[in-house]
A and B are shown apart, each in its own frame.
Chain A
Amino acid sequence: MALEAGDRASSTGDGEAKRGDQVLSRAEMPIACEDDVVIVRRKVRSLAQARGFDTFALAALTTATSELTRNVWVHAGRGRVLIEELTDGQRFGVRLEFRDEGPGIEDVDRALAGGFSTAKTMGLGLSGSRRLVDDFSLESKPGSGTVVRLIKWTRY
């Protein structure tokens, strides 16, 4: 059963490219093992670095990528991440979409509030990642998986 519009969602924005944003590149990577946490975040880091992200924005984006990739691996076992480079004409952005068909999240609001820990995470992965990026959304339905979308922009 796939996620449908209107499923339990919580967001700061919607993690989607806006009208006028141009997609410069698009790639998809599988997430299926622990090593993918490092592989995916390295890929995202090198893209963002090439687009001129400053050190702090780079650390924020790379860390959020690490948290969310690990979430897919730990909670769902496997999934994938779509990686897009964007521009709105003035800034560059990286948009990520993590998708899995794992158990889903019972209480999205609680998970996003932070401090709610399961498995081998501290419960700060989701709430913390949201604070590190410019646009974030989480959609989940118990039994049918989770989609997390985010965008991080260069500052100028």
Chain B
Amino acid sequence: MRGSIPILRVGGNLLATVHIELRDKVAEAFQEDVLETIEKTGAAGLVVDISGLEVVDTYVARVLADTARMAKLMGARSVLVGMRPEVAATLVRMGYAMDGVATALNVDEALILLTAATERRI
């Protein structure tokens, strides 16, 4: 399960592209992979691209939101990108809008956000 979703270094940030349907165990393993990679690389930011996901149920949504919160505790900022319109509509209708999770339209926008955040910090 570990390593199912590649996590790449892009400058001082990490980019994870979720390209496979997230089974529960894969989602949990992904969370641990991300946190360990943040520690190992000292990355200041994390971008999670979920444009490949056709279904995000409340369980997977919670794992993604929790991952962002955990990364934040470690000192890294997270941005979720590429959520499909039907996925966004479904989550909000279910009452789970993933409050507190930063989002962007695409990876480029997310990296701009993260760069701006890092510069403010200096």
Instruction: Give the number of chain B interface residues (Cβ < 8 Å).
Output: 21
Hey, what's the 0/1 contact readout for A16-41 against B, CB within 8 Å counting as 1?
Answer: 00000000000000000011011001
Residues in B neighbouring A120, C-beta threshold 8 A? 24, 59
- In A53-70, the 8 Å CB interface with B consists of 55-56, 58-60, 62-63, 66-67, 70
- Report whether over half of chain B's contact residues are helix, strand or loop; otherwise say mixed: helix
Interface string of A105-130 (1 = CB under 8 A from B): 00000000011000011101101110
Q: How far is the CB of A68 from chain B (nearest CB, A)?
A: 10
Are B90 and A114 touching (Cβ within 8 A)?
no
Chain B residues positioned under 8 Å from A125 (CB to CB):
57-59
A122 touches B87 (CB 8 A): no
Say yes or no: is B109 at the interface (Cβ < 8 Å to chain A).
no
Scan residues 6-23 of chain B and give those whose CB is less than 8 A from a CB of chain A: 21, 23
A-binding residues in B (CB < 8 A): 21, 23-25, 54-59, 62, 84-87, 89-90, 93-96
Instruction: Please report A residues at the B interface, Cβ cutoff 8 Å.
Output: 34-35, 37-38, 41, 45, 55-56, 58-60, 62-63, 66-67, 70, 114-115, 120-122, 124-125, 127-129, 131-132
| A-B contacts besides A45-B55, A122-B59, 9 pairs, CB < 8 Å | A38-B23, A56-B89, A60-B89, A62-B54, A63-B56, A63-B90, A70-B59, A127-B94, A128-B58
